[in-house]
Chain A
Amino acid sequence: MRRVNKNERVRIALALNGRKLAAAAEPRTLLSDFIRQNLGSTGTHVGCEHGICGACTVLIDGVAARSCLTLAVQAEGREVKTVESLAAPDGTLNPLQAAFRANHALQCGFCTPGILMSFTDYLARNPHPSSAEIREVLSGHLCRCTGYAGIVKAVEEVASSAPAKAGKGDHASEAKHGGRGV
């Protein structure tokens, strides 16, 4: 395990949305701050800094995590994906984003990036969730504008149009998913 001195700035390297990036930061720097302030990707938002609102959710090696409860040094050498990774390079929205738009699942849009990242992870493991399962995942996020109805509808729409052959998530990824408050 890499050891770092708390009083020294250290070089932290990770892959952000497929691009290898590095910057110097204090070991106590939060991953949310590191992504936004050191790496310059401001799509990830910080809403509470105590792990409840979910706005800062990113994928670390494909698994949804609160970037405000993660130190940047913990993401060293790992692959971090944020909301900026979802649309095609020409700006075309992916099916989840497009469903959010079609179902008026956002108003101010501040909580939206975290919600998109949680469902990006979840739908990859469980492409056909029930409405109750969607609500359970969504209950790890706070949205103050929409009353949530449009968000549930958007995810249901994506789930119902996902290819039928992909079944429920396998056990390995369920286990990997365990213990996090998505």
Chain B
Amino acid sequence: MSGQLGKPMLRKEDPALLSGRGRYADDLPVAVGTLHAHVIRSPHAHAAIVRIDAAAALAHDGVWAVITGEDVRKLSDPFLAPVKAPVRQWSLAVERVRYVGEPVVLVVAESRYVAEDAAELVQIDYEPLAAVIDPVAACQADAPILHPEAGTNEVSVRDFSYGDPQGAFARADRRIAMTVPFHRLSFTPIECYVVVAAHNAAEGSYDALANFQGPFSMHPVMARALRVPGPKLRLRIPPDSGGSFGIKLSVFPFVVLMALAAKITGRPVKWVEDRIEHLLAASSGPNRVTRIEAAVNNNGRVLALKLDQLEDYGAFLRAPMPGPLYRMHGAVTGAYDIAHVEVKNRVVLTNKMPASLIRGFGGPQLYLALERLMHRIAVELKLDPLDVMRRNLVPAQKFPYHAAAGALYDSGDYARAVEKTIGDGRLADLKRRRDAARQAGRLYGIGFAAVVEPAMSNMGYLSTLMTAAAREKAGPKSGAVSMATVNIDPLGAVTVTADVTVQGQSHETVLAQIVAQELGLKPDDIEVVLEMDTAKDQWSIAAGTYSSRFASGTAVAAHIAAVQMRDKLKTIAAKQLNVLPGDVELAGGKIRSRSNPDNALPFGRVAGTSHWSPMLLPESMAPALSETGVWSPQELEAPSRDDRINTSLTYGFIFDMCGIEIDPVTYQVRVDRYVSMHDAGRIMNPTIAEGQIRGAFAQGIAAALYEEFSYNEEGAFLSGTFADYLVPTVSEIPEVEILHMESPSPFTPLGAKGLAEGNCMSTPACIANAIADALAVRDVVLPATPRRIHELMQHNEK
């Protein structure tokens, strides 16, 4: 072994990306005759579509088609969704619009400029309806109903109980409760959505290119909408994508829409979303209102939790929603050893853009509530917040730990992680800074957050939203399959393909490290090809890049494929070297005898044997040309009859600690010092790990202090440009001190866990706790903008 894994290395991706040679969706060549589309969107939050007059637009030079919801309804079916409520959505609005920015009409023309000119000639008459924006209001009896067939906006409600929460609440010294809202935001990838779709009328098939990110469980959703079997929808993902962060899952309705436009016009159709469209209606994380209550003893020990989670998905519930409400379900007790839990999960629809995947995926909402509660318990019991947290952490000796709602935490030592973080004088320094600031009359607070970071989702977790009886009827869902393939060319060169979509996570580099390590080669010897083609690549519904599945999923599959190939090459070489297979090793580009290293052959010579001379292979051996590693971990079981679900395969740990100061004049929150401890199991590449953590931290800061999609009461959208929707620049991102410890996962051969979402979950909670400490307030609403801080200081409620 050449020991490539665990070391930093220059990224294989970078030379192309640094010289303008990336191949993003909008860079790729399109067929001659490709048309361009522009989407006309709803200006109303809720309205009936009375009439659409396209005559003038159709008469405009260069216009090929003006497509409406009625056309789409004739040619396609509504999208399948996990919740069985009568909420039907097509790729264009049918009969009524339900949010500002909803696609209403598609104009297809010879160029985008012409399509936008013609769009101004389309006349759409609306009859406005009353809209509802606030999720709590949407649950009330007199609320306007978005989908009359459903009869309610609260389209899914489920109650869960684990252990004996009632008994624990009766027995506890105190009950402490809070209501914690989490807001709407996106992480706005700098590249917007891109789709190019073609229709082959002779074959009845579609061929689409999109910067889709997965999961590929959406492929059957798209194919069914288009009324074709899966193989008749060939979906290709370009080699590069300009960021995603969960957001590019939601390009899927536009894949269907452009496919239909291609069918209608008989030409390939291309659509590039612009930034205004993206902010208005691409995707958002769901907002949530959590009422959380603890049964707690006077020493701060939490005996039981009750959560009522009301999650607002906007106007439609699209697959795979309500994922964020259930992705954390097994781990709803977070980092704490709490045996008794009651959970009510409610899904509500409002007149806002549909919510979907976003980095952190349910974690930020859960941990803001849970960590604010832990802080509040300390305040009410007049204890040190850190002591309350430590008193409740899952003890190291309990791993692997069965959490109350079903998560199986693989490994960790949470108490030691906390000690290491506060050690070396770090907490003492924070306290010194706080005391000095407060002595000088300034507003300074310290916050903590402890977070369990799940990775590689169980594909069965969403079925927890059905009752056990309904699950039995539908057939159990479970598991998550990862695949990667190692190929050998005639001269022994190695290429790797894998079931991920590229968005900047450095998969090319890490896959090369993993495969090189097993084959005794250098990472630079390995070509990694990660564009996806559903017609030719191997994939399962779990494929794609989301929910931190790479480290504990695809990376393992690549390791398995490389080991399979290595073992075959050993057997082939043993015959050629005239030694036993057990004596063969792959190292330094050679395949040689371990006991007599001079007895060696070049890697390429042995590896090429299967191409040139398969007759030389040991008897009954299949040629070593292509090995696919398939990884299907057994821990990802279906939900149990009593609704316990191991939602993810691996569970990392994060402990954050920060000091913040509030400017008494501008009301801005300044992060004075921030420390973030990560235990993500074995680290495969420290440079890339740090890059992922810094990126998540910046987005955590953004969620805590800056970014918010805002609507007024009528549903008008107020954050449609980057001047209104504040993405932090370098000036807004504070320094973060990153610490690591490694508790390898016993459930994967590489021992690695996910680490790219953790700070999206921990940082908003940590900052909110510090603000509560600085101002001695109970309720902190994020993002903590100067306006909100000012309000808090006006009505200081203690």
Chain B residue nearest to A136 in the complex (CB): B731
Select the residue from A42, A52, A110 with max chain B CB neighbours within 10 A: A110
Q: Is the interface of A mostly helix, strand, loop or mixed?
A: loop
A118: chain B residues within 8 A (beta carbon): none
B733: chain A residues within 8 A (beta carbon): 147-149
Interface membership of B612, Cβ < 8 A: no
Which of these, A82, A104, A112, A113, contacts B691 with CB under 8 Å? A104
Which of these, B10, B276, B691, B697, contacts A107 with CB under 8 Å? B691
| Docked-complex contact B241 and A83, CB < 8 angstroms | no
User: When chains A and B are docked, how far (Å) is the Cα of A106 from the Cα of B505?
Assistant: 10
| Docked-complex contact A93 and B190, CB < 8 angstroms | no
Question: Which residues of A from 131 to 182 have beta carbons under 8 Å from B?
Answer: 135-136, 138-152
| Docked-complex contact A45 and B722, CB < 8 angstroms | no
B243: chain A residues within 8 A (beta carbon): 107-108, 110, 144-145
In the complex, how many angstroms separate the beta carbon of A31 from the nearest chain B beta carbon?
Answer: 14
| Docked-complex contact A102 and B10, CB < 8 angstroms | yes
Question: Which residues of B from 8 to 33 have beta carbons under 8 Å from A?
Answer: 10-11, 13-15, 17-22, 24, 26-27
User: When chains A and B are docked, how far (Å) is the Cα of A47 from the Cα of B188?
Assistant: 10
How many residue pairs link A and B with beta carbons under 8 A? The number is 169
| Docked-complex contact B19 and A84, CB < 8 angstroms | yes
B86: chain A residues within 8 A (beta carbon): none
| Docked-complex contact A86 and B24, CB < 8 angstroms | no
B20: chain A residues within 8 A (beta carbon): 41-44, 82-84, 86, 113
Which of these, B13, B190, B722, contacts A111 with CB under 8 Å? B190
| Docked-complex contact B190 and A45, CB < 8 angstroms | yes
B504: chain A residues within 8 A (beta carbon): 106-109, 145
Chain A residue nearest to B691 in the complex (CB): A104
User: When chains A and B are docked, how far (Å) is the Cα of A135 from the Cα of B245?
Assistant: 25
| Docked-complex contact A142 and B688, CB < 8 angstroms | no
| Docked-complex contact A146 and B694, CB < 8 angstroms | yes
Scan A45-76; emit 1 where CB is below 8 A from any B CB, else 0. 11111101101000000000000000000000
| Docked-complex contact B11 and A104, CB < 8 angstroms | yes
Interface membership of B554, Cβ < 8 A: no
| Docked-complex contact B191 and A45, CB < 8 angstroms | yes
User: When chains A and B are docked, how far (Å) is the Cα of A12 from the Cα of B113?
Assistant: 18
Interface membership of B189, Cβ < 8 A: yes
| Docked-complex contact A87 and B18, CB < 8 angstroms | yes
Chain A residue nearest to B272 in the complex (CB): A46
Interface membership of B730, Cβ < 8 A: yes
| Docked-complex contact A142 and B694, CB < 8 angstroms | no
Chain B residue nearest to A103 in the complex (CB): B687
Interface membership of A119, Cβ < 8 A: no
A101: chain B residues within 8 A (beta carbon): 10-11, 14-15, 18
In the complex, how many angstroms separate the beta carbon of B691 from the nearest chain A beta carbon?
Answer: 5
Interface membership of B78, Cβ < 8 A: no
Interface membership of A79, Cβ < 8 A: no
A48: chain B residues within 8 A (beta carbon): 190, 275, 721-722
Interface membership of A18, Cβ < 8 A: no
User: When chains A and B are docked, how far (Å) is the Cα of A83 from the Cα of B16?
Assistant: 11
Select the residue from A53, A112, A138 with max chain B CB neighbours within 10 A: A112
User: When chains A and B are docked, how far (Å) is the Cα of A87 from the Cα of B18?
Assistant: 8
| Docked-complex contact B242 and A107, CB < 8 angstroms | no
B244: chain A residues within 8 A (beta carbon): 108
User: When chains A and B are docked, how far (Å) is the Cα of A47 from the Cα of B191?
Assistant: 6
List 5 contacting pairs A-B, 8 Å CB cutoff, sorted by A: A26-B113, A110-B24, A112-B17, A144-B188, A147-B698
Instruction: Given A46-B26, A97-B19, A147-B733, output 11 extra A-B contacts at Cβ < 8 Å.
Output: A47-B190, A52-B723, A83-B18, A84-B20, A106-B18, A108-B504, A109-B17, A112-B17, A144-B190, A147-B695, A151-B730
